[in-house]
Every structure is written in structure tokens, then in C-alpha cells.
Amino acid sequence: MRNTFRKMLATPYALFMALFIILPILLIAVYAFIDKDGAFTLLGNFKDLANEAALPKVVKNSFIAGFATSAICLLIGYPIAYYLTKAEFNRTGVLIGLFLVPMWVNFLLRMMSTKAVFNVLGIPMGMGTVIYGLCYEFLPFMIMPIYTTIQKIDKMYLEGAEDLGATPIKAFWKVTVPLSLPGVLSGLTMVMIPSITTFAVTEILSNGKLMLLGDFIYSLKAYNLNMASAISLVLMILLAISMLITNKFNKDGEKGGGLW
């Protein structure tokens, strides 16, 4: 009886997954392997994609923006996440809430407001303003997994390091950092992939001067949905590989990564 009740409760979630996650992914896979006439093609769309003159520059801009955003978010987010685990007055989650509050505001409103500030300050729109907008948008996605991972680290590891004569700084580098690597990898995945596939940020904060993979896909769907599906499929495969790598380093999710 209890199992039947649980299955009933899970039914809406299963339907949601089927309609809004599994079905779209299947449609992308189907369109990636058929041409405009509906005929099956194994590599036709991918070959056409490789011949796109704008693709190399788009990929270059995407990875510059993605790596820069991920690096900046990590440099800013790790110290913040570490501090939040140590702050006495964060026990009720007040500080975490402050980092999450901006996410309640509409994404486009935040980007338009940021653009207005840049215009007032006379800052020219380009790659720098785009990276700033991406960091502003995705910084919480770096902080939260690192914060959660550090918070789960057993305090006995740090106490053991101190008992063996390690200074606080050495204990941090030899214990906390290695054990927090799963959170770092999760954060990098959650920041990198959205950064290189976004399109609203670049459109607003570069005045349409830059095009990332998200913009490229959006432009393709107007005249070649099959090619747009092909590049989307490639990105999904890259995301799946990233998740597999993250899971490999996070086999022990409760204790974190391994010690050096």
C-alpha cells in the first residue's frame, strides 16, 4: 500500500520529466540526424556545421567567456563559500540567503540594469562587460556546491592535521582544499556550460557585437533547425562527459574528495 502511494506521488514528477526533459532531448537527437527534407543523415548536419564560417570565432569567444567566467567565479566564490562555513552568524543561513536573493529578480531585468550602470559610467560594451554579467549571474552556482561540500567535511580531519603539527594554512591546503574538490568541479560545471551557451547576456551587454554558442544556436534555428539541433547535441554530450568526470571525483559524496 505504501509503495503504491509513493508511486502515485511520483507520477506528476515522472510526467514532467517525460514531457519537458526527455521528449525535448529526443527531438533534438532526431532533428540532428535528419536533413531539411526529413531524410536520415548520419553526419550531414555536422559537416554543414563545420563549414560555417562564423563557427570558429563563436567557439573562440565562447571558451574565452566560459573559462574567464569560471576562473573569476572560482577565485571569488571559494573564499566566500569557505567564510560562510566558518561564520558564526550564518548558522541560520542569513548570508546564504543574501547571495540567493538577487536570483529572485528577473534575469533580463538584472542584465538591463547592469547595462544601464555601464552606460552611466561610460564603460564600452564588449567581452569585459559580458564576462562581468556572466559572473554576476552565475556566481551563486559556484558558491553553493563548494559551500555544501566544505560544510560536509568531517571536522576530525582538520583536528587530526592540527594534532600532527599542521598550521591552519597547511591544514587548509592539505585537507580542506582536496576534500572540497567535488564541490569545485560541480561549480565549474554549473558555471562553464551555461556561460558558453548563454545568449541574452551577450545580446544586452555587448550590444550584439559578440556571439557565443547560445547566440549561434538561436540564430540557426530561424533557418536551419537541424544544424541547431546538431550543435545542441554536441553540447549535451560535453555536459554528460563533464557530469561523468564530476561523479568520478565525487564517489564519496558525504565526505568529499580524497586527501593528497
Q: What is the pLDDT of residue 259?
A: 47
* Percentage with pLDDT > 70 across the chain: 92
Provide the residue ranges of all domains of the chain, joining segments of one domain with +. 53-248
Per-residue pLDDT tens digits for 77-113:
999 999 888 876 655 567 777 777 877 888 888 899 9
CATH of domain 53-248: 1.10.3720.10
Is pLDDT of 64 > 90?
Answer: yes
Question: Could you tell me the pLDDT band of residue 164, with boundaries at 50, 70 and 90?
Answer: confident
pTM: 0.83
Q: What is the pLDDT of residue 145?
A: 92
Q: What is the pLDDT of residue 254?
A: 46
Q: What is the pLDDT of residue 251?
A: 60
Give the residue among 144, 140, 141, 154 at the shortest CA–CA distance from 252: 154
Q: What is the pLDDT of residue 256?
A: 44
Select the more confidently predicted residue: 87 or 26: 26
Is pLDDT of 44 > 60?
Answer: yes
Is 134 within 8 Å of 69 (Cβ atoms)? yes
The set of residues, in sequence order, having a beta carbon less than 8 Å from that of 181 and lying 6+ positions away, is: 249, 256, 257
Per-residue pLDDT tens digits for 191-230:
998 898 888 889 899 988 888 998 888 888 777 888 889 9
Is pLDDT of 9 > 50?
Answer: yes
Per-residue pLDDT tens digits for 81-90:
998 888 766 5
Is pLDDT of 257 > 50?
Answer: no
Is 236 within 8 Å of 25 (Cβ atoms)? yes
Helix/strand/coil for 192: helix
Q: How many residues does the chain have?
A: 260
d(CA 188, CA 101): 21
Per-residue pLDDT tens digits for 120-136:
999 999 999 999 999 99
Instruction: Give the best-scoring range by mean pLDDT among 6-10, 68-72, 144-148, 226-230.
Output: 68-72
Q: What is the pLDDT of residue 93?
A: 67
Positive or negative: CA dihedral 229, 232, 238, 243: negative
